[in-house]
Amino acid sequence: MTRVLLTGFEPFGGDATNPAWEAVRAVADNPPDGVELSTACLPCVFGDAADALRAAVEQYDPELVISVGQAGGRPDITVERVAVNIDDARIPDNAGAQPVDEPIVPDGPAAYFAALPVKACVAAVRAAGLPASVSQTAGTFVCNQVFYALMHLAATERPGLRGGFVHVPFAPEQVTDKLQPSLPVSVTAEALRVITVTAATRTEDIKAVGGATH
């Protein structure tokens, strides 16, 4: 049994729900075989989210952490490749903070790669008949800060901890008044189950095209 921690976020940006947390909850209600699953809902607040992540890691002592966030406007499940050491908020967080061009960890590395088999996870989701792709950027909002904080924690304090970040689209109820792609939470949850099993059972990635021209 691999100890896995899945994290999501509370709603932000004026939305009443966050499909990342709703999908994580759905996975917890029906977890895949072979994993000991724990979950945590993180505040969408700079600093507090990273602190809550650290607390959950200390509480559950996972071997694998997959953090999940909402990426409104994306049409598919996107497995993130790299976290960057910068906060640059286009909108305020849920506490009203809006940092601009601030490092997440002063003097920390410019970036960290995910410690997930990113392309294998994407391939597995696609093989399950669900839409997925590799993402080259987790943005510069709270999601990226959590992703970077997770990888920095693994690199500096918890050797052997593997982890990464997955962005998910809006849920349908969020886009009734706007032209944006969406996926039902049940579909997003199934993709997270596939990613969880894939990441828990393999460390080596596959060699497949996953790059971008821009």
Cα distance between residue 158 and residue 55, in whole Å: 13
Q: Give me the catalytic one of 63, 121, 152, 167.
A: 167
In 157-208, which residue ranges form alpha helices assigned H by DSSP?
A: 185-201
Q: Give me the catalytic one of 80, 121, 152, 190.
A: 80
Q: Where are the beta strands (DSSP E) in the chain?
A: 2-9, 35-42, 64-70, 77-80, 82-84, 111-113, 132-135, 162-168
The answer to whether 86 touches 93, Cβ cutoff 8 Å, is no
Closest CA to 162 of 123, 199, 190: 199
Q: How many CB atoms lie within 10 A of CB 50?
A: 22
CB proximity list for 152: less than 8 A, separation 6 or greater = 104, 105, 108, 109, 112
Active site residue 143: yes
Which residue has tokens 């039902």? 184
Which amino acid, 24? Answer: V
Which residue has tokens 């994290």? 7
Angle at 138 (CA atoms; ends 207, 129), nearest 5 degrees: 55
Q: Give me the catalytic one of 22, 44, 121, 143.
A: 143
Active site residue 80: yes
Positions marked catalytic? 80, 143, 167
